[in-house]
Chain A
Amino acid sequence: MTRKTPLYERHVELGGKVVDFAGYKLPVQFAGIIEEHKAVRNDVGIFDVSHMGEFEFRGPQALEAVQKLIANNAAKLEINQVLYTPMCYPDGGVVDDLLVYRLDKDRFLFVVNAANLEKDWDWVQENTKEFDVEIENQSFETGQVALQGPKAQELLQKIYDRDLGQIKFFWLEKEGKISGKDCIVSRTGYTGEDGFEIYARNEDLVDIFDAIWDAGKEFNLQPCGLGARDTLRFEAALPLYGHELSQDINPFEARLKIFVDLEKGDFIGRDALVEVSEKGVEKRIAGIEMKDKGIPRQGYPVEVDGEEVGFVTSGTFSPTLGKNLGIVMVKKEFAKAGSNLDIRIRKRLLGAEVVKLPFYKRR
């Protein structure tokens, strides 16, 4: 069964092209991916991300349970701080990448990918049995919108009853209200721009969306779909599970070393990652720019001198840079900026050059 998010009717009213994605009916685009993409880079856009999963950890050993599951260090989080982290298998492969919200001393929220929801829930349950912690799957009762772009703060401040200036990057506020409705607001996102993610109960999300929408008129607020979400995260080189991350890719290979804390104490996958850290990786993620005309897409082989050295994990036309760009997983010796690679696109072999990631960084 495909679920509708609380904002489904709004998507239809606003002309969204709705598709099935990770078990939800969600808009892939409204005005057009390029127009939506540019709105987020230049002004502000709103995304329905209610499909994301939420697990709340509560209890005396909540921190211990969280620490065992994730590769980054939740102990260094202050209350109301947010952390990005991989969650690994014992061999260092990735179960999922997620955000951890520290809501209180003994209260944490995991925000996980919708496509991995069931797998993550099973994994979390399976691996926390020894702890005095209660874990609740709130995914189907929680809605979320992301308000992203340089004008996001000015817009949201019109209708939010707390000072957004006090919420720093990767911090949250849980006491504020929009339209009288409780919500968690964090300065986080998946676009490479400034912006906020707003969590609320399903039944409150339409009122919150409507308030943002009305306040957004003077800011030229653009409704955005999954298509623009993907091109925006791609330019910012933010990994997408199933592309740059998977069971077969460890965080070191995915350029996520800074989100792995090998010194924090034991966690699932630590031994394997210590070994990777000592030996170094054999393959890793790199960015490419096409020199010949063609668009690299996920799964296309990467070759050097006729030998296959890797594959494309993501690729598209970049609306901001106006170039055909890709992210590839290649043998380490070919991942250096300036290396020349060939991408096999259908029958042709097209030239590309390795460039530094991210492709786009906000000023």
Chain B
Amino acid sequence: MYPEELKYTDDHEWIRVENGKAYVGLTQYAQEQLGDVVFVELPDVGEEFEMGDSFGVVESVKTVSDLFMPVGGKVVEINEDLEDSPEAVNEDPYGDGWIVAIEIADKSQLDQLMDSEAYQKTLE
């Protein structure tokens, strides 16, 4: 439910560092709380954000929620498949449901995030 190799935020997002870039998505808990995701508003590739900035929006049938940057950086890739299949956020939150990939500006910000165990404690 909460893979060990990821880092987590208070906003119920995960980040996975891989070959110099970092993928970002919503956690299992977040997608359960949202319910059926029907729309994801993505940023443009090249946009830069500070840690905690809103970079997009995820909408379920009933709700509209901001997406926040887990750490500061530049968007290098967006998951365009979500345009036609936003339900991937529900069905495969750590895989096909990834939202953006970023180039991290300051890797030390990762130390401020939670590991799997600490994140799960916040859900109790």
* Residues of A in contact with B (beta carbons under 8 Å apart): 17, 28-29, 32-34, 227, 230-231, 293-295, 297, 316-317, 319, 324, 346
Is B41 a contact of A319 with CB atoms below 8 Å? no
Counting contact residues on chain B (CB < 8 A from A), the size range is: 10 to 19
Q: Point out the residue from B39, B60, B62 that lies within 8 Å of A294, measured CB to CB.
A: B39
- Contact: A316 with B83, CB < 8 Å? no
**B77 adjacent to chain A (CB < 8 Å):** no
Contact A33 B35 (CB under 8 A): yes
10 additional A-B pairs beyond A33-B36, A294-B41, beta carbons within 8 Å, are: A29-B35, A33-B62, A295-B59, A316-B61, A316-B62, A317-B38, A317-B59, A317-B61, A319-B61, A346-B57
Q: Is the CB of A34 within 8 A of B39?
A: no
Whether the Cβ atoms of A33 and B83 lie closer than 8 Å is no
A33 to B59, CA, bound (A): 13
* Overall SS of chain B's interface: strand
In the complex with contacts A293-B83, A294-B41, A34-B64 CB distance below 8 A? no
CB neighbours (8 Å) of A294 from chain B are 39, 41
B35: A residues at CB distance < 8 A: 17, 29, 32-33, 227
In the bound complex, CA of A40 to CA of B45 (Å): 41
> Which chain B residues lie closer than 8 Å to A346 at the CB level?
41, 57
7 pairs, CB–CB < 8 Å, chain A vs chain B: A32-B35, A33-B36, A33-B62, A295-B64, A317-B59, A317-B61, A346-B41
In whole angstroms, how far apart are the Cα atoms of A316 and B61 in the complex?
Answer: 6
- Considering only CB atoms, which chain B residue lies closest to A35 in the complex? B36
CB <8 Å contact, B61 and A227: yes
A227 CB contact (under 8 Å) in B41, B59, B62, B64? B62
Q: Give B22 Cβ to nearest chain A Cβ, in Å.
A: 25
Name the residue of chain A whose CB is nearest to the CB of B62: A227
- Which A residue's beta carbon lies closest to that of B86? A317
B1 nearest CB across to chain A (Å): 17
Known: A293-B83, A346-B57. A230 touches B39 (CB 8 A): no
**A33 to B37 alpha-carbon distance, docked (Å):** 10
Q: Which residues of A contact B61 (CB under 8 A)?
A: 33-34, 227, 231, 316-317, 319
Q: Of residues B59, B60, B62, which shows the largest number of chain A Cβ atoms within 10 Å of its Cβ?
A: B62
Q: Which residues of A contact B83 (CB under 8 A)?
A: 293
